Amino acid sequence: MKSITPYKSLLILVLAFCLSCQSENKVAPDSFTVSGTIKGLDTEYMSYGYRDAEGKRVFDSVFVENEHFTYTGKLSEPGFVIFWPNVESTMKRTGRGYYPAKSSQFAFLASPGDNITFEGEITDFVNAYPGGTPANDDLASINKRIFPLLNKAVNLQLKVDKLKDDDPGKQILVDSINTYNAQVADLKEQFVNAHPSSEAAIWYLSDMMVRSQVTQDKAISMFKAFDTSLQDYTYYKEVAMRVAGIESTLVGKTMPNFVTNLTMDGSSFELNSLRGKHVLIDFWGTWCGPCIAEMPKVKAYQEKYKDRLVVLGVNSGDTKERILKFMEPKGYDWQQVLAGEGDESLVLKLNVAGFPTKFILSPEGEILHRFVGDTEEAFDVLDQILE
Query: Beta 79-83 vs 269-270: how paired, if at all?
Result: unpaired
pLDDT category of residue 387 using cuts at 50, 70 and 90: confident
* Residues 228 and 318 reside in one and the same domain: no
Higher confidence at residue 57 or residue 226? 226
* Residues 361 and 273 reside in one and the same domain: yes
% the chain with pLDDT above 70: 92
* C-alpha angle 302-303-307 in degrees, rounded to nearest 5: 85
* Residues 159 and 279 reside in one and the same domain: no
* Residues 138 and 240 reside in one and the same domain: no
Coil, helix or strand for 353?
A: coil
* Helix (H) and strand (E) counts in the chain: 10, 17
pLDDT category of residue 75 using cuts at 50, 70 and 90: confident
Q: What is the pLDDT of residues 164-217, one digit of tens each?
A: 989 989 999 999 999 999 999 999 999 999 999 999 999 999 999 988 889 989
| Mean pLDDT within 348-369 | 92
Is residue 4 in a domain? no
**Alpha helix positions (H), 50-105:** none
Is residue 96 in a domain? yes
* Residues 229 and 137 reside in one and the same domain: no
C-alpha to C-alpha distance for 104 and 41, rounded to whole angstroms: 12
* Residues 169 and 316 reside in one and the same domain: no
Is residue 344 in a domain? yes
Q: Which among 70, 50, 66, 120 has a CA at the least distance from the CA of 90?
A: 120
* Number of domains forming the structure of the chain: 3
Q: Provide the residue range defining the domain that includes 356.
A: 259-386
Query: Beta 45-51 vs 57-65: how paired, if at all?
Result: antiparallel
Torsion angles phi and psi, residue 3, rounded to 5: -85, 155
pLDDT category of residue 22 using cuts at 50, 70 and 90: very low
pLDDT category of residue 25 using cuts at 50, 70 and 90: low
Is residue 316 in a domain? yes
* C-alpha angle 77-206-259 in degrees, rounded to nearest 5: 70
Is residue 7 in a domain? no
Is residue 9 in a domain? no
% the chain with pLDDT above 90: 75
